[in-house]
Amino acid sequence: MASQEQHRSVSLRRTGEGNLVAMNARGGELTFGTGEEGRFTPVELLLAAIGGCTALDVDALTSRLAEPERFELVVGAEKVRDADGNRLQDITLTFHVTFPEGEQGDAARERLPDAAARSHDRLCTVSRTVELGTPVSWSLAEDA
């Protein structure tokens, strides 16, 4: 069994029809739902989590060399509905990163491809979990 330090969890609470709030142990809250009123959907949150995890890795590995002038990441995917059920496929991450001219910017630019590859291949827990196909289980609490 995983130690408490390694275990990760969030709790979700329904706040209205098609609306949820996710809470973490540190007191953070994130409202989302079916997409009305500008809220994120669960699929968009998955894409944001993949992109966010990768962006944080890449930023940590490059910005120590030079502060980026622009750092944006676009995450896209195709939603498929077929005999296997609803899912995403062809998830893509496109970096739009520029660094200042000069030696430090050159070093950061040179590190960028390796940083993105390291995040994809080893570091990003979210994308690694999706790519490796981790099983998801469910249960009903006794008070359900």
The rounded distance, in Å, linking the Cα atoms of 26 and 5 is 13
* Region of residue 27 (phi > 0: left; psi between -120 and 50: alpha; otherwise: beta): left
- Say if CB 29 and CB 23 are below 8 A apart: yes
For residue range 82-125, list pLDDT tens digits in order: 999 999 999 999 999 999 999 999 999 999 999 999 999 999 99
Q: Give the pTM.
A: 0.91
| 37, 144, 43, 129: CA torsion to nearest 10 | 150
The rounded distance, in Å, linking the Cα atoms of 10 and 49 is 14
What rounded mean pLDDT belongs to the chain? Answer: 95
The rounded distance, in Å, linking the Cα atoms of 139 and 27 is 25
